[in-house]
Structure 1
Amino acid sequence: MENWNSFLKELEECLAIDEESGYEETIRQHVVDRLGPHLDNITVDRKGNVLAQKSCGTGDGPVILLNAHLDKVYGFDEGRKILKQGKIWSSTEGILGADDRAGVTILLELARRMDELNFNGKVKFIFTVEEEIGLIGARNIDAYFLSDVDAAFVADRRGAGDIITSRGSGLKLCDEAYGNWIEEIATGAGLNDWKCRPGGSSDTKIWASHGIQSVNLSVGYQNEHTSEEYLDTEACYEAFKLLSTVLKNGEKLRNILQIIENKEVINEQ
C-alpha cells in the first residue's frame, strides 16, 4: 500500500505541472530533482533532454534504456483540476495531460526503487522534449549516449496491456523474440493481459533506428489530446510493475538479447 500511495502522489504532482512542447523547464527540473538522490549521473543536453544513468550490481550485464517524454501537446485550461473517480482520473475541463506524465511518473518511481530490484547492469534514462511536435528531442540525442544500449522500453502508449513492437505493418521496432519474452515474463509475474501489437509513432522509432531492441508500453491513458482524456491509474501502475519485473529478470534479458544477436550474425553470413 505504501508503494501504491507514493506512486499516486508522484503521479498527481507530475499531472499538476502545466507545460507544453518547447516549454518544459518546470517538469524538467522536477525530474532532475527527483532523480538526484538515486542515480549516478544526470545531465541536460543542448536540446533540453534529461539524460541519466545508474550502474547496478557489478555493472556487468545488459544496458537498458527507459524513456518517457516531458512535453504535453496543449496547456491546461484555466481552472482545470484533476477529477478522481476511483481508479479513473480525468480533468474537470480540457486535457488531463497523462500523455506522457504517466510515463514520467513510472520512470521516476523506478529510479527511486532501483536498489530494490537487484538488477545487474546499467540503466539509462532519457526524458525527451518536444516529442509531440515530431520526436524532436529524441532525434537530437547524441549518439554516444545510445551506443552501448542493448534494449529500450518506452512508457508512452495509450490503453492497457499493449507491447508495441512495430509501426503498423511496416517498421519493425524489435525482433519478435524480444516482444515474446516480455509477454512471457509478464505472464510469469501474474500480469496476464500484456500482448504484442502494432502501433503508431513515438520515440521508440528513434531508438529502433539506432539498432536497439525497442518497445512502447501502455501506461493507461485514453483519448489523449482531447477534453475526454482519462487515466486508468491501475493500468499505469501495472506498467510500472511490468518494468520492475523486467529489471528483476536482467539475466534472462541478457540471454534473449544474446540469442537475437546470434541470429542476426547468422543471417548476415
Structure 2
Amino acid sequence: MKLLKQLYKIHSPSGKERAMKKFIRKYVKRRIPDITLKSDRKGNLYMIKGSAETYPCIVAHLDQVQKNHSNDFIPIETKELIFGYSPKHRRPEGLGADDKNGIWIALRCLEKYDALKVAFFVEEEIGCRGSIEADMDFFMDCRFVIQPDRRGCKDLISSIGWTGLCSAEFLKSVGYEKFGYQETDGMMTDVLPLKERGLAVSCINLSCGYYEPHTDREFTVKEDLINCLHWVEHIIETCTDVYPHIYNMYKADGRYAFLWDDEYEEAVNEIFGMLDMDDTLGVDDLEYMYGLYFPHLTKEHFIQIYQAYHDLRQDDLLEESEDYNEEQQDFRNLEFLHQTASFTNGFIRKTDFSDKVASGKCSFIKESQKQENLG
C-alpha cells in the first residue's frame, strides 16, 4: 500500500494535476523499463510498455474533487481501511481515491505485464475535458479498455445512459461473477467520450473500492481495491482477443433518450445526503460536485433539488418547533395541575382545620377550654 498512500498525499484538483503527472513520470522512469511516455496538448499522459500487435489498455483520471488538503494531510491505514486526516485541524480530509485507486491499479499492472497501454486523463471531474480531447490513434491497436473508476465493490458498468460500452462476448469472457461483480448502468466517466469519439473496442468501468467519493469522509476498503486489481489482472491474462464494439446511441423523437427517471432519482438521493452533511453548500457547489455524474441535469434541475431539500428541511424544522411548543404546553399544563393540586390540598387542609375549630373538635382547643373552666 506504500504506492497508494504516496498517491493519496498528492493533491490534484481539476486543472491542477501537474504534481500528480510529475510523480507518475518519475515513478515510471525509475521503476518500469521499456516504456514510452508522451503527452498531448491538453495534458493527458499516454504510456506504452513493450511491443505487441494488440494491447490491453487501462485508463484512469488524474484529478480529484476535494478542496481540503492540509499541509499535514496523512493517509491513515488500518487493517481494513485507508482514510485521510489532518492532525492540525483534527478533521477527516478526502483521499481523492476517485480516481487514485484507478491510477494505482494501472501502475501495478504496468509493473507486472510486458505489454500494456495506459492513459491518464486530466479534468475528468469537471466534464471529462481531458478524454474529450484524447488522441484516439493511441487506442487503434487495443483489445479492450478498462477504467477502474466506480465507487463500491461490485459494479461492472457496461452502459452509460443508453450508450452501450461493450459486446456480449466481452462480458462473457471477463468472468465478472467469479469476482463478485454484477452488470449495471453507470454515470459519465472517460470511457463514454472515448466511445462517442469512435473507440471501436469494448470498454468497461469497474468499482475499485472507494466509498463516499467527493467528500472529506472518503475512504478505501483495501480488500475491495485488491479484488478489483486481481480481476483486472485476470482480464489482461485471459482476454487475449480483440473485442470489437461499435458505438450506438438510441434516439427517440430526434433527441437522445436516457434513463432519466433513474438518474434524477439517484441525483436527489445523492444531493440530499450531501446537504444533510453540509447544508451550507450552494447550488453552484452541488453542480460542480455532481454535474459530471449526472450529465443530463441542467442548472434548473440542481436549483429544483436544492430548493426541494430546503423546503423539506423547513417543514421538518417547523414540525420540530410545533412538537417543541406542544411539549412546552404539556409541561405548563402539568405544572399548572401540580400547583392547583397543591393549592387545593392546602385549602382542604385549612378548611378542615377551620371546620374543626368551629365545631370545637380540635384537641388543643378543647384542652384550652377545659383549663378555662377549671380556673
Which TM class, normalised by the smaller chain length? 0.7 to 0.9
- 1:39 deviates by 4.2
Matching residue of 2:37 = 42
For the pair shown, the structure with the greater C-alpha radius of gyration is: 2
1:147-177 residue CA offsets vs partner (Å, 9 max, x unmatched) = 3333110011111122110114x11111233
Matching residue of 1:228 = 217
Residues 1:153 and 2:146 are matched in the alignment: yes
Amino acid at match of 1:195: Q
Alignment of 1:10-49 (within 5 A): 10-36=3-29, 37-49=32-44
Amino acid at match of 1:200: M
Residues 1:215 and 2:207 are matched in the alignment: no
| Farther-moved stretch of structure 1 (72-81 vs 235-244) | 72-81
1:65-85 residue CA offsets vs partner (Å, 9 max, x unmatched) = 210111111233324332323
Matching residue of 1:243 = 232
Summarize the Cα distance change of 1:44–1:25 in structure 2 as closer, same or farther, 3 Å threshold: same
Amino acid at match of 2:195: A
Amino acid at match of 2:126: I
Dislocated runs of 4+, deviation >6 Å: none
User: 1: CA distance between counterparts of 2:34 and 2:108?
Assistant: 12
Matching residue of 1:171 = 163
Residues 1:85 and 2:75 are matched in the alignment: no
User: 2: CA distance between counterparts of 1:248 and 1:88?
Assistant: 28
CA RMSD in angstroms comes to 2.1
Residues 1:139 and 2:126 are matched in the alignment: no
Summarize the Cα distance change of 1:155–1:38 in structure 2 as closer, same or farther, 3 Å threshold: farther
Amino acid at match of 2:143: D
Amino acid at match of 1:114: Y
Amino acid at match of 1:67: V
> Secondary structure at the residue paired with 1:224?
coil
Amino acid at match of 1:71: D
User: 1: CA distance between counterparts of 2:55 and 2:37?
Assistant: 16
User: 1: CA distance between counterparts of 2:73 and 2:50?
Assistant: 40
Amino acid at match of 1:68: A
Is residue 39–residue 52 contact of structure 1 (8 Å, CA) maintained in 2? Answer: no
1:55 to 35, 50, 53: 50
Alignment of 1:117-128 (within 5 A): 122-128=115-121
1:76 to 63, 68, 77: 68
User: 1: CA distance between counterparts of 2:136 and 2:236?
Assistant: 24
User: 1: CA distance between counterparts of 2:211 and 2:45?
Assistant: 26
User: 2: CA distance between counterparts of 1:158 and 1:193?
Assistant: 14
User: 1: CA distance between counterparts of 2:218 and 2:18?
Assistant: 24
User: 2: CA distance between counterparts of 1:192 and 1:201?
Assistant: 24
Alignment of 1:251-266 (within 5 A): 251=240, 253-254=241-242, 257=243
- 1:198 deviates by 1.0
- Structure with bigger helix share is 2
Matching residue of 1:193 = 180
Is residue 87–residue 234 contact of structure 1 (8 Å, CA) maintained in 2? Answer: yes
- Structure with bigger strand share is 1
User: 2: CA distance between counterparts of 1:80 and 1:30?
Assistant: 17
> Secondary structure at the residue paired with 2:100?
helix
Matching residue of 1:180 = 172
User: 2: CA distance between counterparts of 1:47 and 1:148?
Assistant: 22
- 1:141 deviates by 1.0
User: 1: CA distance between counterparts of 2:170 and 2:193?
Assistant: 17
User: 2: CA distance between counterparts of 1:75 and 1:24?
Assistant: 13
Q: Which runs of 5+ in 2 are unaligned?
A: 86-91, 249-375
Percent identity reads: 25
Is residue 173–residue 239 contact of structure 2 (8 Å, CA) maintained in 1? Answer: no
User: 1: CA distance between counterparts of 2:17 and 2:9?
Assistant: 13
Matching residue of 1:112 = 111
> Secondary structure at the residue paired with 2:159?
strand
User: 2: CA distance between counterparts of 1:39 and 1:72?
Assistant: 29
TM-score (norm 2): 0.59
TM-score (norm 1): 0.81
| Farther-moved stretch of structure 1 (30-39 vs 134-143) | 30-39
